[in-house]
């Protein structure tokens, strides 16, 4: 895939970029290794100063970088602005909390004496250069949620971004450079996917993090496993959105639309499978379908647009295949189901609701990466839990019920990295983020995220026999 900015609203190629060659990769790996030797010794107040400065610069650049993101991958401009603001928030959060999150941990005196030590502690040290293989759907946020904790922990970053968001990728390197980070602390590698293996196998790369598809995650995990290097993977999701009779149905419907079409439906944590109790199914389906059908699809730069284009022509083709397969096997199209006739240019797809989904349909098992929702009717709690878990993924989940017993059951039995009650899944710097099953492993954000790429070191001091 060429490294290029292609406007998905028009299909027009705006800029192309030359791929980094072997000599360029070597120079950047050498720079990362040299930077780590220096940067790892900086104290946390200095790291916080640098991160805060980067956050200030990003805040100043919010409008410009939002327009770049929208141009490169098609999200509505308002969503791009919100993404930039969210990154600023996370950077400031880590700047303000890293010292506490990375503080030495000391067991109590009884535990220390039982180990034969006069004193002992757990100390967190950085690992080195972390390779980040990142996707296009949240081209700023996905990077910052890795970079902010990794840099605050004393690591350095190497970014291999998606090939269709090169200008956003280059902006990120420039941002950290302008903030005053030492040369080599954060570098963008304009390379294709074939270069990843060689970079990851290089001994100067200590670990890797990947957000993306299951095949990409499997490949990176296999290479890193062969090299015995730490990885964190955040892969696909087909999150359930469960609605039970005690829910505030109006709020559940309004939130369901946002949860499905956020980022033009191209989000791993977007709600995709809507599992509704029979007692409220008809009312939910009617209101939800009406709201989905009323969404405005169009120019992502326009303030009136709710849903922009999909990021690539192939992405739209993949989504069409899933919908066509479901319809062929008996699914009912309640709204949408095709390309908007008035938008011939660009890679647009109508907000779509499908009902009567059955297990033999591909969309029952595969992630629909676009504004397509599937509706299921269930008769009770057991059936809802079983259906929610009937997926190879386990990223997050949304459950609408005000019944404490039902909530306890979902917390106990849903196979996912998160359970969000009476609201939609969202990431926040203070809360761990990640999944189970084929959605990956490891956690980003919070204290868990900053410690993922640390050497958790036991420091033990023997008792002085003369004391």
- Distance set, CA 138 to CA 79, 144, 216, 269, 464 (Å): 10, 10, 17, 12, 55
State how far the Cα of 166 lies from the Cα of 189, in Å rounded to an integer. Answer: 10
CA angle, residues 289, 428, 176, in degrees to nearest 5: 120
Cβ atoms of 11 and 135 within 8 Å: the answer is no
Cβ atoms of 375 and 354 within 8 Å: the answer is yes
Catalytic residue among 72, 83, 173, 234: 234
Q: Which residues contact 41 (CB under 8 A, 6 or more apart)?
A: none
Q: Residue holding tokens 């983020």?
A: 433
The count of other CB atoms within 10 Å of the CB of residue 171 is 20
Catalytic residue among 268, 350, 444, 452: 268
Residue 46 falls in the annotated catalytic set: no
Q: Identify the H or E element spanning 448.
A: helix 446-451
Residue 268 falls in the annotated catalytic set: yes
**Tokens standing for residue 141:** 């946020």
Q: Identify the H or E element spanning 454.
A: strand 454-462
State how far the Cα of 10 lies from the Cα of 454, in Å rounded to an integer. Answer: 44
CA-CA-CA-CA torsion for 91, 43, 451, 127, nearest 10 degrees?
A: 110
Which residues belong to the active site? 234, 268
């Amino acid at each position: 895939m060429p490294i290029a900015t292609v406007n998905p609203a028009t299909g027009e190629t705006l800029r192309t970029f030359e791929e980094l060659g072997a000599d360029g990769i070597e120079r950047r790996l050498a720079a990362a290794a040299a930077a780590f030797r220096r940067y790892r010794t900086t104290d946390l107040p200095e790291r916080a100063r640098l991160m805060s400065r980067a956050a200030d610069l990003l805040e100043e650049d919010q409008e410009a970088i939002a327009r770049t993101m929208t141009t490169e991958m098609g999200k509505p401009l308002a969503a791009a602005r919100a993404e930039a603001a969210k990154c600023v928030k996370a950077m400031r959060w880590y700047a303000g909390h890293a010292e506490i999150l990375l503080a030495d941990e000391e067991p109590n005196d009884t535990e220390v004496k039982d180990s034969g030590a006069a004193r002992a502690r757990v100390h967190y040290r950085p690992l080195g250069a972390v390779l980040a293989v990142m996707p296009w759907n949240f081209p700023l946020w996905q990077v910052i949620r890795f970079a902010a904790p990794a840099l605050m922990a004393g690591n350095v970053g190497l970014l291999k971004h998606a090939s269709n968001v090169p200008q956003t990728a280059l902006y990120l390197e420039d941002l950290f450079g302008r903030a005053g980070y030492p040369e080599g602390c954060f570098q963008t590698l304009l390379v294709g996917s074939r270069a990843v293996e060689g970079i990851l196998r290089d001994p100067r790369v200590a670990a890797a993090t990947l957000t993306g598809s299951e095949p990409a995650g499997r490949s990176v995990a296999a290479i890193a496993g062969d090299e015995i290097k730490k990885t964190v993977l955040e892969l696909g999701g087909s999150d359930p959105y469960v609605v039970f009779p005690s829910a505030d149905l109006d709020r559940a419907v309004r939130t369901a639309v946002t949860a499905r079409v956020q980022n033009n439906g191209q989000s791993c944590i977007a709600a995709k499978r809507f599992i509704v109790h029979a007692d409220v199914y008809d009312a939910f389906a009617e209101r939800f379908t009406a709201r989905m059908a009323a969404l405005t699809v169009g120019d992502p730069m326009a303030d009136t647009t709710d849903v922009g284009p999909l990021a690539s022509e192939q992405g739209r083709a993949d989504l069409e295949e899933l919908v066509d397969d479901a319809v062929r096997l008996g699914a009912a199209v309640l709204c949408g189901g095709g390309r908007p006739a008035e938008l011939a240019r660009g890679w647009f797809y109508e907000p779509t609701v499908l009902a009567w989904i059955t297990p033999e349909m591909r969309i029952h098992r595969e992630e629909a990466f676009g504004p397509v929702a599937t509706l299921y009717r269930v008769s009770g709690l057991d059936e809802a839990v079983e259906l929610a878990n009937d997926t190879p993924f386990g990223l997050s989940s949304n459950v609408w019920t005000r019944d404490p017993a039902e909530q306890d059951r979902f917390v106990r039995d849903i196979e996912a990295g998160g359970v969000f009650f009476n609201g939609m899944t969202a990431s926040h710097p203070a809360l761990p983020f990640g999944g189970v099953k084929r959605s990956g492993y490891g956690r980003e954000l919070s204290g868990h995220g900053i410690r993922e790429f640390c050497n958790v070191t036991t420091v033990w001091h023997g008792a002085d026999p003369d004391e």
